[in-house]
Amino acid sequence: MRIYQEENKLVIAQGKSAVWVEPWGRNSIRVRMTAEPKMDQNDWALTEKPERIEPEISFEEIDVTDPWYRGEEWSKYHQKGIQATLKNGKITVKVSHEGWLSFYNQRGELLTEEYWRNRNRINRYCVPLRVDARELKPIQGTNDYELTARFEAFDDEMIFGMGQYQEKHMNKKGAVLELAHRNSQASVPFFVSSRGYGFFWNNPAIGTATFGTNKTEWYARSSRKLDYFITAGDTPAEIEEQYSLATGRTPMMPEYGLGYWQCKLRYRNQEELLAVAREHKRRGLPMDAIVIDFFHWTMQGDFKFEPLDWPDPEAMVKELKELGIETVVSVWPTIDERSENFGTMADQGYLVNADRGNQNHMTWMGNTVFYDATHPGAQRYVWERCKENYYKMGIRCFWLDEAEPEYGPYDFDNYRYYAGPALQCTNTYPVGYAKGFYDGLKEAGEKEILSLVRCAWAGSQKYGVLTWSGDIYSSFRSMREQLQAGLSMGMAGIPWWTSDIGGFLGGDIRDPEFQELLVRWFAWGAFCPVFRMHGERSPWHEREQEFRNGVRQLTSGQDNEVWSFGEDNYEILKKYLFIRERLRPYIRDCMKAAADTGAPVMRPLFYDFPEDKKSWEVEDSYMFGPDLLVSPVMEAGARERKIYLPEGADWTDAYTKEVYKGGRTVTVPAPLDVIPVMIRDGKDYGIYS
């Protein structure tokens, strides 16, 4: 083994294998490993050119004689070895004489280190298990490898981020997470550790991340290299800022994104949608965007309005703009084999291939194949169809659904992209999907770009992605899970996030229990990055199956407007529409901070109060920007709420106006029309005025 300096990086070389350890921006290190003669050049999410840094690199000769041989045989077996150190600001990496890595902060405190269980000469873990920290095992007969990376576990460590998973806990210590996208699951493999570092697994392959009590283990079923990024900081905010510099910052949120979005499954025609918008404005209610959901089209993959139901989209968009409402249109990546675009896209190689079996990927409402969002040509082709049929009519915001993509089934080993086998790169699909629209809109002259996308991976944020949490169930349990999902997405570097208010599946608008859930969720939605109503709303309208030109037409769920759930509830929902409007200047400032520094808009309490140890344990409240502590009511029938108030601030209950010192837990009233909000240090946002 050789350890040497090459330009500004350390290289650990042994046979064909090489490890690169190099600075990658302030206080940050990138580690790559290949078992091939040349390093794979894919940067994946680390596409932002880092600041050129000349680190402090040093080498030290040390005694590596096995203690078993000391004594009379000392001179015979006495050996020397070289260990190296690379220092980049607040992070230092030490390379042992045998090539394993450990990372320290500027105070010399251990952040994390690789997990080695080999019998070696001076490693304190001197056991003959033959378990290495880094493994690239060849997949026989291919140029691909099965990849495993292992790190030591620490009992005091808490782990936050990793994207969106449908589960209870925000702290991922003890969790096993699938590194794959599914409907309502978005794998974004960056986390912030309570030990003072952030870690990004820069690999879009299918795999798992295990945060065990005995070790942390990252696994990819098929890959070409090991690639990860680690950054150190004194606060979670500093860590997020450095990570977002490496993967890209979100743009500034367009003004229409700050207000209220109206949506349902689904407005069936132009007049139905306009009637809702007009009624909203007649009642004097704010609305910034309204969404035209799926199957408004002639055929999946045609990317255009069905002319019988949408006879004059240009006039519709014009009227909505005059009402101050942005039109949002659903796009699916599914191309029906009967679509006018199918033949061209197939001939050009713009569709995802199957390695075996039937080429169809989804058979819902037609036999369809997903277009290949990793292919630059396919990105442009789809955008050009949407530009011709939507953008030229005044539509500039798109709902990019099915962005995982939602294979049925999720047999990742069967799909192949322009970028490579799905096993190696499928998690980049939503990034390419959003990038195609972002690039197209930018080229068309748009300066404020936002796409509502049902998935994300690292780097999605720089393409104006607003992620929502997919087709979730209508229940208080689901609501609790969405809270941790939203906070985890924020800590994973995706600051624009929302959920379907009331849940998507199973909510009956006539059921009092669902009405209570919807009211509680709507109040919480007013304090989310984007405030958006949506849902299936059972039971669906009954209608015999209708076909046009051989295409089955889809029906719709029940009404989903704020006046649809009873007059008493309407008054509560109306109140939160205006609370959101009063908060618009504050939310605008939060969005600017996200664009400037990568700060999550909604974040755990410890983000703003890292010195308060108790704040790291709170999972049922969060900070909405720097000044508002929000505690959603997530239990049926609850009319009060316990809240932990972080130490280091005074807190005013926005509802009762009572002032509390931080560092304590209080119980506050939470009637049905109130979501408890605590305001920091005497500021006044007029929430319940």
Residue 59 lies in a domain: yes
Within 13 Å, how many C-alpha atoms sit on residue 425's CB side? 21
Backbone angles phi, psi at 677, to 5 degrees: -130, 125
- The reply to whether 157 and 69 lie within a common domain is yes
Residue 586 and residue 457 in one domain:
yes
Q: How far is CA 473 from the centre of its chain?
A: 20
Structural domain containing residue 533: 255-597
Residue 524 pLDDT greater than 60, yes or no = yes
- The verdict on 187 and 279 lying in the same domain is no
**What is the reported pLDDT for 127?**
62
Q: Specify if 685 maps to a domain.
A: no
CB half-sphere exposure, 291, CA atoms < 13 A = 27
DSSP string of 303-345, one letter each residue = -SB-TTT-S-HHHHHHHHHHTT-EEEEEE--EEETTSTTHHHH
* Shared-domain flag, residues 298 and 219: no
Instruction: Judge if 276 and 210 occupy the same domain.
Output: no
* Radius of gyration over every alpha carbon of the chain, rounded to an integer in angstroms: 27
Does a structural domain hold residue 264? yes
Domain stops at, among 564, 597, 630: 597
| Residue carrying the six token digits 């699938």 | 178
**What's the CA gap between 580 and 630, in Å, rounded?**
14
Tokens 């037609």, residue located? 366
525 and 425 in a single domain? The answer is yes
pLDDT in tens, 104-149: 999 999 999 999 987 554 445 556 788 999 999 999 999 999 999 9
pLDDT of residue 404: 98
Task: Note whether 189 and 216 are same-domain residues.
Answer: yes
Rounded CA gap, 50 and 68, in Å?
Answer: 46
CA distance 358 to 364: 15
Q: What is the pLDDT of residue 606?
A: 98
Q: What CATH number did the domain enclosing 488 receive?
A: 3.20.20.80
Cα(499)–Cα(246) distance, rounded to whole angstroms?
27
Shared domain for 545 and 405, answered yes or no, is: yes
The CATH number for 651's domain is 2.60.40.1180
- What was the pLDDT predicted at 121? 44
User: Between helices 584-597 and 567-582, what is the axis angle to 10°?
Assistant: 50
CA distances from 178 to 159, 459, 474 (A): 16, 19, 24
Catalytic residues: 401, 404, 471
Same domain, 442 and 573: yes
Cβ-contact 378, 352 below 8 angstroms: no
User: Closest by alpha carbon to 577, among 283, 222, 350?
Assistant: 283
Residue 145: half-sphere exposure toward Cβ, Cα within 13 Å: 20
Q: In this structure, what are the phi and psi dihedrals at residue 676, rounded to the nearest 5 degrees?
A: -60, 125
Which helix (H) or strand (E) segment holds residue 92: the answer is strand 91-95
**pLDDT computed for residue 408 by the predictor:** 87
Task: Tell me how far apart the 2 most distant CA atoms of the chain are, in Å.
Answer: 97
Q: What is the pLDDT of residues 372-396, one digit of tens each?
A: 999 999 999 999 999 999 999 999 9
Q: What is the pLDDT of residue 545?
A: 78
Examine residue 686 and state whether it is found in any structural domain, yes or no.
no
Global pTM?
0.96
The residue-averaged pLDDT of 271-295 equals 98
Tell me the HSE value of 601 on the side-chain side, using a 13 A CA sphere: 27
Express as a percent the part of the chain with pLDDT over 70: 96
The tally of CA atoms less than 13 A away on the side-chain side of residue 11 is 15
SS3 77: helix
Residue 688 included in any domain: no
**Which one, of 367, 540, 331, 361, lies nearest residue 454 by Cα?**
331
Query: Residue 370 to residues 331, 332, 439: CA-CA distances in angstroms?
Result: 12, 9, 20
In a domain, 149, yes or no: yes
**Residue 56 pLDDT > 50, yes or no?**
yes
- Which band of pLDDT confidence, cut at 50, 70 and 90, is reported for residue 638? very high
pLDDT at 231 over 60: yes
What CATH number is given to the structural domain containing 207? Answer: 2.60.40.1760
Among the ranges given (81-85, 395-399, 577-581), the one the predictor scored with the smallest mean pLDDT:
81-85
Domain assignment present for residue 99? The answer is yes
- Contact between 14 and 1 under an 8 Å Cβ cutoff? The reply is yes
Rounded Cα–Cα distance for residues 453 and 470 (Å): 9
Q: What is the mean pLDDT of the chain?
A: 95
Encoded tokens for 534: 């949506």
Supply the pLDDT for residue 122.
47
Structure tokens at 470: 């997919």
Given 554, 581, 597, the domain boundary residue is: 597
Domain boundary among 563, 597, 631: 597
pLDDT of residue 359: 82
Among 65-69, 125-129, 425-429, 549-553, the range with the most confident prediction by mean pLDDT is 425-429
Per residue in 172-210, pLDDT tens? 999 999 999 999 999 999 999 999 999 999 999 999 999
H or E segment to which residue 521 belongs:
helix 512-525
Tokens representing 71 are: 């004594």
**pLDDT at res. 71:** 54
Mean pLDDT of 19-31: 98
- Look at the chain and report how many structural domains it folds into: 3
- Any domain includes 397: yes
Same domain, 458 and 537: yes
Q: What is the helix (H) or strand (E) element at residue 524, kind and residue range?
A: helix 512-525
In angstroms, the CA 289 to CA 255 distance is: 10
> b/e map of 368-386 (b: 16 or more CB within 10 Å)?
bbbbbbbbeebbbbbbebb
pLDDT digits (tens, 9 = 90+) for 315-332: 999 999 999 999 999 999
Q: What is the spatial distance between Cα 495 and Cα 592, in angstroms, rounded to a whole number?
A: 11
DSSP string computed for 357-421: S-S-SB-TTS-EEEB-TT-HHHHHHHHHHHHHHTGGGT--EEEE-S-S---SS--GGGEEETTEE
562 & 480 share domain: yes
Residues 639 and 494 in one domain: no
